Structure 1
Amino acid sequence: MLKILAIAPYQNLKTKIDEIAEDFKTLYVESYVGDLSVGLAIAQKKASKFDVVISRGGTAKLLAKYIDRPLVEIDLSLLDILRVIRLVEVYKYNYAFIGFSNVTEKIKLLGQILSKELQVITISSSAELPEIIAGLKKQGYSMIIGDNITFNEARKNNLNSILIESGDESIQNALVAARYLGTELQKRTEQYRLIDKTLMAFDETIMVISKQGSLIYQHNKNFSKKRSQAILRELKGKLANSPTDTLTLFSRSEGQLYRINAKLRNALWFVLVSPLQISSSQTASISNFLPAPKQDVSSVNIGNLSKDIQKAAKAKSNVLLIGEKGTAKLAAAEHMASLIKLRHYWKIDFTRMTSKSDYWRLFNDDTSPLLDHHSLFIIDGVETLNDDQLKALHSFYAMSETTGNIYILICESNDKEIQIIDLFHSAFQITTVALRQRKSDLGSLISLYLYQFSKQHRKSVVGINQDGMHILDSYSWPGNLSQLKRVLEQFVINANGPFISSESVKQMIFSEENRYIEKQRDKGTFNPLSLFEGKTLDEIQQQIITILLKHNGGNKTQTAKQLGISRSTLWRLLK
């Protein structure tokens, strides 16, 4: 059986390769995720055991120079590029396509065919990308579209980015080509087993990691594969950037907090992972984390929130984030954390603390993480604290100059908001804007989220029809960005084609309004006028008709009678 090694620059390509390879019964396909040098390192280690290597884009070009195996490049078809062009049609801000000539020539061709003026930039080397993307950012571009190298470089510059992915037909063509290129070689894997027998008596997990972050050996007694991989992902960046040959940090995986001690000896990191025995409630509400360098910043990038976050991060200021529920406060805090380099990063969520002892340990115990130095704290649910707890938190906050800590306090708007603003008056205050007050950004947000959810659920949704967009634009979105994302994900999950129909939008928004009304009634805070906030008289009229029609099971005669109008007038109003 022919053996194929697939090096995918990104995870979704690996998933597609694995699925399509099941139809090639005469091939054994083993796939990995690795872009450029990471992919090259994987191929150099694995390629000798395989007959043919397949990859894509800049990674494929790099492998062709250094791997002594036949290589097939997964191409980008015109259809792959067309999908992305259709997806960004409703994106209102400046965007540009960047790539090598084999991709950009196809983009230009499609632009001519579709009579679209597209900003297309051709590069001859990935080394050109940082300067080009930085220049586009200064010119006001907010989204970059291209291959995986371009995608990652845009994310480094905190720009929105869309990856042009290879479709199923391109992968099938690559596997067909690979089937005719390879010759069979023996596959062999050598395992490290000798040290395992010595370490069986210990409860701790021991890892040996290269300076480049590759796992060489691991003793994982009572350690799940998922837990091991999660900790290794956290370690890679920390070890590579450590200025000293010793390192101590904390990591959380599957609800368990670990202390990690690492020492560098003879160009290898020897790592001891020890579980910490703490209460389950504290585990749920306090966690140590590493900021994600490639996190999703779409909800932060659209609008002015990103500028405020970058300004606060540059000044290394304490921050007070205030806003309604669902307005990306936590995403903004995590984005700011990714822009600041400190020793440790903590998340404390007061909404998940369930007993007085949890608060006592946090504010009074000698092992409290609030006693850490040169650390960043994201503290959520500040509005849930009573007066004594707020004072206790402020006592640690007041020591931030001495400890070198940075606090990002998250407060949901409520009647305690003014008290919290007064108490933490020295913090850089950022107010997140409700979605109903930033309707000009709605189209761009919808475009980005449809792309993300289509990729996540392996759908080909490219937009919402015009009437549906008008309905979404007219809705007040009481749940803000969280509600918008949930609604759009449901659209994608239930979609049967490339476009979401206005009927689907109507049904979903009607359900959302009913859910909001019931929730407010349960709280005893329902205000009927809130249903019509920000809407024109025509829109309110349409909403009332829609509610009555739904109540009457679609019976137009009964609905017209209730409204005191003729059936023909109702028909006219529904047009």
Structure 2
Amino acid sequence: MKIKTLFIAPYPAMIPLIEECRGKEDDLDIKIERGNLGHALPYVKNAEANGTEIIISRGGTAKLIEQETNIPVIDVQVSGYDMLRVLTLANDFPGKKAIVGFSNITLGAKTITDILEIGIEVFTVAKEEEVEGLVFELKSKGFELIMGDVVTVEAASKFGLEGILIQSGREAIYDAFYKAKSVYHSFRKKQMENELLKEILKANAENILVTDSKGEKVFEQWNTFTLPPVQPSQLGTLVHRMESPNSVVTMNGKKGEVLKIRVSTLKIGEESFTQFVISELESEKQPSSNVKIEAVPQLPMIIQESEAMKECLGAISAANNRNFWILIGSAGTGKSLIARYIHYLRYQGRGLFASIHAEENMKMPDGFDEDIRTIFIYGAEEISSKKRSGLVKHCKQWTQAGKEVILSLQGETKGFHSAIFDDEANRVYIPSLTERREDIRPMTAYFIASFHQKLGTSAIKIKEEAIELLEQYNWPGNAAELKTFLYDVVTAEKGYTIWKETVAKHLKRKQPRPSQIDEGLLTGTLDQIEKRIIEAVMEEEDQNQTKVSKRLGINRSTLWRKLKQ
């Protein structure tokens, strides 16, 4: 796109030369006008209204225009060639000769006349009003030829002196064209920076980092952080993940804090910039392993070759605009994945997704961060029956506040019937893996590929006979158990293929082993027998107290107390 340029020629003889040079210039769209000093100003006013981007003129006219406009002005300089031409013309003139003009003319003239020892005196004026008085004085001193700009030649003519106009040649005009382009690009860059800052100020954000299209930092402002909480290079990856023009994502800061980052694009002219507005998530300032806040930038991958899973996802897609969901499915069926699926369908990657253990719900603030759109609550069966009504109450409050609330249950659990059978709730039943055996084959392929990409595992193929073994197994732990099982298989496999024998060996480990009771285990007092049993189970479960308490049917505090006895 050409630069819209106005060239104001202070004397008529300059116009043909400009037209000739204009024909060889590809980057400037040049309009030519004739006007000297004050006569040029009406063209300047029109130029501002017409979107002119740069103005070119000469001498006093250029200086006057600069004072009247914010448009960049290029002053056509008098080159050495121009000065030599006029001195050659004046050389044969008899009598005393002088050059009168502004410094753009006289500085070069003085240098040349001194070097060549030419007998021409040089006089410099600062204002147009000084010219006539100086020319009149020179006449009284016997000068007969006056050289200079338009105003100087006009003053010489007024007082009956001979005048020669110092004209600009092609070299000076081409040089002015080059300067015009250079100044325009510098001016435009500054102009864009100013416009960018205006846009940033409009955002009225506290912590801002702005990068250009190359990822280079062009602006930063930190009000609530003493130092930048994240490196600009880390933020670059977020630009490629951005699916909407104003995305919100989360990231860990340098000190481990959870940051909320709003990513948006700023368009200034033809340049694109990326703005990152950064804050620390309020709900994460007291971190808990039972609370996780994240972005869901793309639709989660859910295998749906089986009719059971197609019906499940179909029910989700057909759900109306009610924002309270009940996901019912046994452990390991993928309720958290389904929750993220619902979040993405509703918000298309915008807003944040919060996973919260039911025990934490009473500790959460009344108002969540405004960018948290979906709240997924898991572990509801693990809280006491007294707290369940409070959890349901919280869910209703969050839905009334406009949040999408998803409650995860393993069944139609007592204490949650008021929520499960609420007419305002979307109930979704998640099928077990035995109800969707057709999905085992594609899920296996997906998990193997995923482990290969993330962990660099060797196995990339599984034999048909091995697949059949997987399809025959009941998978009480559902999809989560299948994933864990395949992880164990692929990390142990050093070859490229998983064989039937490998799968059979790993499945055999999952079969219950007949228990062998040590004769000495049941001797002694009841307390001694109980302690030996606990110690034996602890050894079998690798000292994992959670698993031991579950096997023995006691809570962890009771187990801990008995171990201390």
TM-score (norm 1): 0.44
TM-score (norm 2): 0.45
Which structure is larger by alpha-carbon Rg, 1 or 2?
Answer: 2
Identify which of structures 1 and 2 has the higher relative contact order when contacts are C-alpha pairs closer than 8 Å and 6+ apart.
1
